[in-house]
A and B are shown apart, each in its own frame.
Chain A
């Protein structure tokens, strides 16, 4: 197979002219990473704050008010609604006006003072598990901390200070993202996902469009080789895809304050490789689809599962083995590891070489496959 540089460059030039003349599509391709990063970056946020809760305080003591203020001072709760009965509380939760409620029964402070276990009730609307989990964990923690503090105070009053209980002192330390902010985890993944979706779409239509316009029939009767056509059509989009990657990277890391811990250069080089990989997927779709509607369907059929299978939202470790292994056939899976590795952990090639090799092979195989699949025939 002897490729002709002249024919290849002719295709490249022609594609650039198409792109230049179709200003709307070009604008879309440039705007998409910005809009998507902002939209998804702000929307995909699993850090729940300011959960609205209702308070039913039947104790009316200093202690009960202190407990409520503990809730208020934490960032997680917003105890602004006061109710008088459980009926009222029920109604608020049913309406969805509040997501949780605390009931402090009368006798709460008395029990604290006498050293008995004080009781209170935390009612949580479990429809949204993320909110419910946050409310449960933090509500429990707050009350526990409070009761321990009170009891200590009482003990000190009684002069029993010196027999401090010898509990095991566990010190946990979270690395890379010490505050467990979900944006830190989401943004690198989002950059990868957005890049994949944009680039696959860039090329998915390139060949079918010519098929529909009839221009492919004329190309078929020329001496063009399939590899020249496939590569020539991809090269302009490699440029656009790389620009998109830089835009996504800049906006993602700047707007959401996710600093890049590792080598920016390495990240850009590997991003470039990933762009080629996804463009090749789009190209493959374009060789299979008969018309643009089919190309669109296939693109969606690929994009939607890749959101889940790549480990973008849910960790792959939590998936059944079969589904996990499906994820290994998606280049995004490896690119996400690279993105999170370089951006969050600051690791380099010495840790990521496996992903890089797999990604490289993916790109080559997809390109060769697309070239072979594309026959210079209409049947």
Chain B
């Protein structure tokens, strides 16, 4: 029998060494469980700090107290009232701001006429803190529901415009040329090539815009609101009820996770081709 090793490495066998590995590509893997464990560990540490008196109860309530506040609010139906009031505002505001943002973003992405003025206006108006405009919104829309919905609509509009026209710009122009060359109508090109091509960008824009919408809930519910998670958090802050305050914050955070989850599921469905 021929010695295999000898066969493979016929020469200079004395000086064999492995080549240096150079394949590390900074591709961190995600472990859901590890992330969850980090969160649990933090909460346990916090609970311990409260229970063993390392942290004064004046500074912050313990997680147990926060959960208890949450439980009481859930049982009394208070939570449902606040949550549904906020969800209606969030859904309404995001529907208006998102739809208008996608439409305007498409217009900027497709039409030279709209592009320069539109993109400039958006760049100028996007950084304005919407809270600064709250007094104006109250003048324009009153202190009822419309000013709250308007705040969220206004806040979600701009990120959606920017995400949409960025996404449209990124659609491969050779696909558009292909569509033209087959005589597709402009409407067909927009609806069958540009819109689906821009969809990944639009959806990731939605992630950001929906988070901004949740952030703006507090601002929107600052004026004249008795119901809503934002109003709950504000009132708890005013009353120095830090357990209820943090309970409200937990609800906002869960709301954010849920919305992100929903968008993620939609992404998975619509972007299966990736």
Question: Are A and B interaction partners?
Answer: no
